[in-house]
Amino acid sequence: MKALVAYYSETGNTEKLARAIYEGIEAAKKEILPINGVKNVEGYDIIFCGFPIQSHSLPVKVEVFLKSIPAGQKLAFFATHGSYRGGEFAIQAFHYALSLTPKHTVLGSFGCRGRVIKSRIDALMDQAEHRAWAIEAQSANGHPNEADFEEAKVWARAMLAKAYRH
Ligand SMILES: Cc1cc2nc3c(=O)[nH]c(=O)nc-3n(C[C@H](O)[C@H](O)[C@H](O)COP(=O)(O)O)c2cc1C
């Protein structure tokens, strides 16, 4: 089993989650790389792709990366976001990621909250399109935390087991 953990992270939250996932999986070969460091997406049994949710969606670099992955690839998405887990904003972004990978096997997704710096929240409060998630994001401080990392590891092992079965 050859696994890649590819991530995009601006303030470090998603990178921390990526490292936990990488530590948590046992595979004959495993690699962890920021998406701009991935030279070749071929030859992996599973690609974990991680991103911060931005504007209810994916950062453009992540869109470009997902579109570069050949059809048939097994994928698992993970994300950090300021808004609530399982909330509408997080769900929208995962839906969008799915819409970009219609010919792939998406084995599952994991999302947890990620701290948003206060100056950022304050700036967003004045923008109508961001206000709703910025209000939710005020309680994301301290995340991702150890409990998030443990949960992500359990999830990642389940994704790997699923990839073996497929
Ligand atoms: C420009 C920008 C837009 C964001 N938009 C959203 C959003 O729509 N919904 C949300 O839940 N969080 C949003 N966030 C919060 C980030 O998803 C969250 O802080 C995440 O953990 C950052 O991950 P990173 O440290 O890996 O970059 C936004 C953050 C930034 C900087």
Residues with CB under 6 A from ligand 1: 9-15, 52-56, 80-83, 89, 114, 116, 120, 133, 137
Contacts of 72 (CB under 8 A, 6+ apart): 103, 104, 105
Q: Which of 21, 4, 6, 3 is nearest to 144 (CA)?
A: 21
Alpha carbon of 52 to ligand 1 centroid (Å): 5
**What is the per-residue pLDDT for 129?**
87
**SS3 state at 22:** helix
Amino acid at 166: H
Alpha carbon of 156 to ligand 1 centroid (Å): 22
Higher-confidence residue: 70 or 166? 70
Confidence label for 125 from pLDDT (cuts 50, 70 and 90): confident
Closest ligand 1 atom, residue 11 Cα: 25
Q: Whose CA is nearest to atom 2 of ligand 1?
A: 54
Q: 120: buried, middle or exposed (CB in 10 Å: 19+, 13-18, 0-12)?
A: middle
Structure tokens given for 69: 């992955």
% of the chain exceeding 70 in pLDDT:
100
**What is the per-residue pLDDT for 10?**
96
**What is the per-residue pLDDT for 124?**
87
Q: Which residue has the tokens 């010919």?
A: 103
How far apart CA 76 and CA 66 sit, in angstroms, is 11
21, 78, 81, best to mutate for ligand 1 pocket (most atoms within 8 Å of CB): 81
pTM passes above 0.85:
yes
Q: Whose CA is nearest to atom 19 of ligand 1?
A: 116
Kind plus residue range of the DSSP H or E element containing 2 = strand 2-7
How far apart CA 45 and CA 76 sit, in angstroms, is 11
Query: Across residues 46-60, what is the average pLDDT?
Result: 96
Kind plus residue range of the DSSP H or E element containing 164 = helix 146-165
Confidence label for 2 from pLDDT (cuts 50, 70 and 90): very high
Structure tokens given for 151: 């949960």
**SS3 state at 81:** strand
**SS3 state at 105:** strand
